[in-house]
Structure 1
Amino acid sequence: METNGIWENIAFLEKNQLSYCGQDCQRIPPALWNMYGAKVNYLDLSYNSIETLKGLDNFTRLEELILDNNKLGDNVSFPYLPYLQTLSLNNNQIENLESLVGKLSEAYPSLSYLSLLSNKACPNQLSDLDKDETDYQRYRYFVIYKLKHLRFLDSRRVSEYERGEALARGEFMRVRRPTCDVTKYTPSDVIVRPLPLDLASLGKHKGAYGKCLYKYTGKHSEGNRFILNSDL
């Protein structure tokens, strides 16, 4: 009973809504799903350091899940939750958009609200100054194409026009990533040979890099400036 009292002070439960925020935990504590898993339809785990969603499948009635400001990355697995409609993943460490939406489409068939702001996977100008509205719109088309039941994406309603565009060309809006490592070279790694080496012509070539000598035939006359063959 004493242990339950401690958890009730940390986790706030009201009307089937559970909040467990700002506790700096890296995973969902087993005590949470043991005590509340079958009761809640709203779960807020914001402002922690969560890296894995192990145990989330114990929240069998979950409809809304808030995971903002955590440390979820591309390797995270999303357990199957058939009733989940709202998912907020703002300010995590997700970079691979194609992988993410593939997982979400399988795990959450009822998903209608999704927010990914402040992840690298979301090309929003607020978090990435190199991106513009065109990049963001392409991202929206692709996500809407993959998650066909979405009604809201990043706090913006999905319009009928966007849905039509996503159906027509959303598949081609995916982000292509290199399939192999690209080696970076520094100038010292590269040997530059501007001219082929011809041993037979050594000592015969007259050209050289350097200053040219100019001769003038008239005083202060730029128009009479020329180079003699003997100067080469």
Structure 2
Amino acid sequence: MDGKTFMMEDDSEYEGSAGAIKFNNNRLSYIGQDVRKIPPVLSKLYGSRVQSLDLSYNCLTSLQELSNFPHLNELVLDNNQLTDSITFPRNENLRTLSLNKNNITDLDVLMRKLENNLPNLRYLSLLGNKACPNQLSSPDKDDEDYQRYRYYVLYCLPNLQFLDSRAVTTEERTEACQRGKFMKVVRPSSENESNRREEIEKENRNKYTPLPAARRHADDHRGMFGKCRFRYAGKHSEGNRFILNDDL
């Protein structure tokens, strides 16, 4: 079972190194195997016994197998490729969730999923995602941006005791309760921004007309008067034929 692919007892195929699976004291780790989804073999062998699952440093884009780990209270998914489309099966036992360095951009969407499906979270970490506005994800963000993010997350998940790298303070919890709902940040996607620019350009093109903007009535004889000056510097003017040298 040291190769990259081997067969399980139920004839299902498993890709990866057998030595990558480490299970001890109800803790299962499967790290650095570049898989895009959780191998079914993990849930088949250990799912009912696992309380802590570490799947860091893979290429996960789906969490479909998580429903087969009903007793999870800790889930570590750092350094994967999870996006806003991820779904979490309902789990009232999960207390710790780490999603550092993934591709999560929409904080509001993530909060709704966590509120609905993981109601008893106590520890959450989102560092390294665009949804978490700090220096790790966006160099143009500052401490004030990050603090507003904390207030909003704590407003959505009031039971959190630890967010990212800091414990939640009493002052933060009070501020989040009072003003957290106003800290929501709407981040338009680059595709939406591009489409909006195209719409604006199209509207501007349609608005252009060489005619006056105001309508003119039949009895409105307004015109524009001015002086026009023409100067000819050549020698082939028709009028030059009638001018004699004595007239110059």
* Same fold (TM > 0.5): yes
Q: 2:196 aligns with which of 170, 174, 182?
A: 182
Q: 2:147 aligns with which of 137, 142, 154?
A: 137
Instruction: Establish whether residue 21 from structure 1 lines up as the match of residue 18 from structure 2.
Output: no
Tell me the TM-score normalised to structure 2 length.
0.73
Instruction: Establish whether residue 161 from structure 1 lines up as the match of residue 171 from structure 2.
Output: yes
Q: Counterpart of 1:212?
A: none
Instruction: Establish whether residue 113 from structure 1 lines up as the match of residue 123 from structure 2.
Output: yes
Superimposed CA distance per residue, residues 71-114 of structure 1 (whole angstroms, 9 cap, x where no aligned partner) = 11111111111110000001111111011011001111110000
Q: 1:50 to 1:206 in 2, by over 3 A?
A: farther
Q: Counterpart of 2:95?
A: 85
Counterpart mapping for 1:186-201 below 5 A: 201=223
Tell me the TM-score normalised to structure 1 length.
0.78
Q: Counterpart of 1:170?
A: 180
Cα RMSD of the aligned pairs, angstroms, is: 3.0
Query: In structure 1, how many angstroms separate the alpha carbons of the residues matched to 2:26 and 2:35?
Result: 22
Matched residue pairs, number? 205
Partner AA of 1:151 in structure 2: Q
Partner AA of 2:128 in structure 1: S
Q: 1:72 aligns with which of 59, 68, 82?
A: 82
**Cα distance, 1:175 vs structure 2:** 1.6
* Structure 1 SS opposite 2:197: coil
Query: In structure 1, how many angstroms separate the alpha carbons of the residues matched to 2:58 and 2:102?
Result: 11
Partner AA of 2:94 in structure 1: L
Superimposed CA distance per residue, residues 10-50 of structure 1 (whole angstroms, 9 cap, x where no aligned partner) = 20111111110111100000000000101111100001110
**Cα distance, 1:127 vs structure 2:** 1.9
Structure 1 unaligned residues grouped into runs of 5+: 208-232
**Cα distance, 1:163 vs structure 2:** 0.2
Structure 2 unaligned residues grouped into runs of 5+: 10-15, 217-221, 229-248
**Cα distance, 1:147 vs structure 2:** 0.5
Q: 1:206 to 1:48 in 2, by over 3 A?
A: farther
Query: In structure 2, how many angstroms separate the alpha carbons of the residues matched to 1:12 and 1:206?
Result: 93
Q: Is the 8 A contact 2:124 2:164 kept in 1?
A: yes
Q: 2:113 aligns with which of 93, 99, 103?
A: 103
Q: Counterpart of 2:158?
A: 148
Partner AA of 1:48 in structure 2: N
Partner AA of 1:15 in structure 2: N
Partner AA of 1:147 in structure 2: L
Q: Counterpart of 1:226?
A: none
Superimposed CA distance per residue, residues 112-148 of structure 1 (whole angstroms, 9 cap, x where no aligned partner) = 0000011110001222012111111110000001101
Partner AA of 2:196 in structure 1: V
Report % sequence identity.
49
Query: In structure 1, how many angstroms separate the alpha carbons of the residues matched to 2:117 and 2:210?
Result: 58
Query: In structure 2, how many angstroms separate the alpha carbons of the residues matched to 1:206 and 1:151?
Result: 80
Q: 1:164 to 1:194 in 2, by over 3 A?
A: farther
**Cα distance, 1:201 vs structure 2:** 5.0
Superimposed CA distance per residue, residues 181-205 of structure 1 (whole angstroms, 9 cap, x where no aligned partner) = 512467xx7587899599x757x44
Query: In structure 2, how many angstroms separate the alpha carbons of the residues matched to 1:192 and 1:129?
Result: 40
Q: 1:59 aligns with which of 54, 69, 73?
A: 69
